[in-house]
């Protein structure tokens, strides 16, 4: 048949377009539109509500950077919670750390987990690890019901539309602080500074009011809007900028390095301006 191109309008006036070999699965789940497609450039790709969530070729950037920065900052991360992240990529990175004894994944949409296992095995393949506990549930409620329980919480959500809208509220960050142990750390993906400056500014302000140590860091993700993604880290005790050299053990990575751990926090001036630093 003719060429198929998927186009994501990342803003009203700008987008990316990706050649699609075939659609592997498409479904309106209870929560969102789910498409799994095979692309030539990026390998298999998961779309939720028409937005690129992850691709086999570039997923390593996001998953390594959202995981290893907090897990190397914490001196002995044992119990980890991942909110969202049904594709399993964060879990795969988290359990690379030998100190991790239990990793709980709470995704509201079981279909994301099901079809990631089927079509993204390179990403989802560690969801069956014995240290991993997968729950199909509301992450907001899971947080609300947890207290003093986790060393690290990673919020791997979609954009603040649809099921993830509660995950960008100050109440949610307060709940996270409660769910963390007294020396816990949390990270959330917080979109890009070119098109979502307001979101970054608001989240950073909210997190900073709750956590004594708050920083923003970035990574390059080609299939995400602008290619420059931000992560907001809130920590009760350990500063990601003051991690001792001896803490960095060897892990197999394709993006993260211990030098980049620090460099990722050095922000372009216009991004510093967004968060008032």
Q: Is 19 in the site for a copy of itself (CB under 8 A)?
A: yes
41 binds a copy of itself (CB under 8 A): yes
* Backbone torsions φ then ψ of 250, nearest 5 degrees: -70, 125
| Interface of this chain with a copy of itself, residues 209 to 228, rule: CB under 8 A | 218, 220-222, 225-228
> Count H helices, E strands: the chain?
9, 12
Closest CB to a copy of itself among 16 and 144? 16
- Judged by beta carbon, residue 117 or residue 215, the one nearer a copy of itself is 215
Shorter beta-carbon distance to a copy of itself: residue 45 or 164? 45
Among 99, 147, 272, 277, binds a copy of itself (CB under 8 A): 272
Catalytic pick among 109, 156, 191, 206 = 156
Q: Of residues 43-72, which lie at the interface with a copy of itself (CB under 8 A)?
A: 58, 61
DSSP string spanning the chain? Answer: ---EEEEEEEETTEEEEEEEEEEEEEEE-SSSEEEEEEETTTEEEEEETTEEEEETTTHHHHHHHHHHHHHHHSSS--EEEEEE-TTSHHHHHHTTSTT--EEEEEES-HHHHHHHHHH-HHHHTTTTSTTEEEEES-HHHHHHT--S-EEEEEEE---SSGGGGGGGSHHHHHHHHHHEEEEEEEEEE---TTT-HHHHHHHHHHHHHH-SEEEEEEEE-TTSGGGEEEEEEEESS--GGG--GGG------SS--HHHHHHTT---HHHHHHTT-
Judge contact between 175 and 142, C-beta under 8 A. no
The residue count of the chain comes to 277
Smallest distance, a copy of itself to C-beta of residue 277, A: 11
> From the CB of residue 45, how many other CB atoms can be counted at a distance below 10 Å?
26
* Interface with a copy of itself, residue 173, by CB under 8 A: no
Nearest distance in Å: CB 239, a copy of itself: 17
Shortest distance, CB of residue 12 to a copy of itself, whole angstroms?
A: 8
CB of 262 to a copy of itself, least distance (A): 8
Q: Closest CB to a copy of itself among 58 and 159?
A: 58
Structure tokens that stand for 261 in this block: 């751990």
If binding is defined by CB under 8 A, does position 194 make contact with a copy of itself? Answer: yes
156 assigned to a ligand binding site? yes
By CB under 8 A, residue 249 contacts a copy of itself = no
Do the annotations mark residue 63 as ligand-binding? yes
Q: Is 156 a catalytic residue?
A: yes
Segment near a copy of itself (CB under 8 A), from 87-95, 160-168, 206-214, 264-272?
A: 264-272
Residue 81: CB minimum distance to a copy of itself, A: 27
Is 87 annotated in a binding site? The answer is: yes
Q: How many amino acids of this chain bind a copy of itself (CB under 8 A)?
A: 40
Q: Residues annotated in the binding site, as ranges?
A: 32, 63, 87, 107, 138-139, 156-159, 163
Q: Which residues are catalytic?
A: 156
């Amino acid at each position: 048949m003719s060429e198929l191109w998927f186009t994501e309008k990342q803003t009203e006036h700008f987008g990316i377009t990706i050649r699609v070999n075939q659609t592997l699965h498409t479904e309106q789940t209870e929560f969102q539109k789910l498409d799994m497609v095979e692309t030539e450039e990026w390998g298999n790709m998961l779309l939720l509500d028409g937005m690129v969530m992850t691709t086999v070729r570039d997923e390593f950037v996001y998953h390594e950077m959202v995981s290893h920065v907090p897990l190397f900052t914490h001196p002995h991360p044992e119990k980890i919670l991942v909110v969202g992240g049904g594709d399993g990529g964060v879990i795969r990175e988290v359990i690379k750390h030998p100190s991790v004894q239990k990793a709980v994944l709470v995704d509201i949409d079981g279909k994301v987990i099901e079809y990631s296992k089927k079509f993204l095995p390179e990403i989802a393949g560690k969801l069956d690890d014995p240290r991993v506990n997968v729950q199909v549930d509301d992450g907001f409620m899971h947080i609300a019901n947890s207290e003093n329980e986790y060393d690290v919480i990673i919020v791997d959500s979609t954009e603040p539309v649809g099921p993830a809208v509660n995950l960008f509220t100050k109440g949610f960050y307060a709940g996270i602080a409660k769910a963390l142990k007294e020396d816990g750390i949390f990270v959330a993906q917080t979109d890009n500074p070119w098109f979502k400056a307001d979101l970054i500014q608001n989240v950073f302000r909210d997190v900073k009011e709750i956590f004594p140590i708050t920083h923003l860091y970035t990574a390059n993700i080609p299939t995400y809007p602008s290619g420059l993604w931000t992560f907001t880290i809130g920590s009760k005790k350990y500063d990601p900028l003051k991690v001792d050299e001896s803490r960095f053990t060897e892990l197999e990575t394709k993006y993260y390095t211990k030098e980049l751990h620090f460099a990722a926090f050095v922000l372009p001036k216009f991004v510093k301006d967004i968060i008032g630093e």
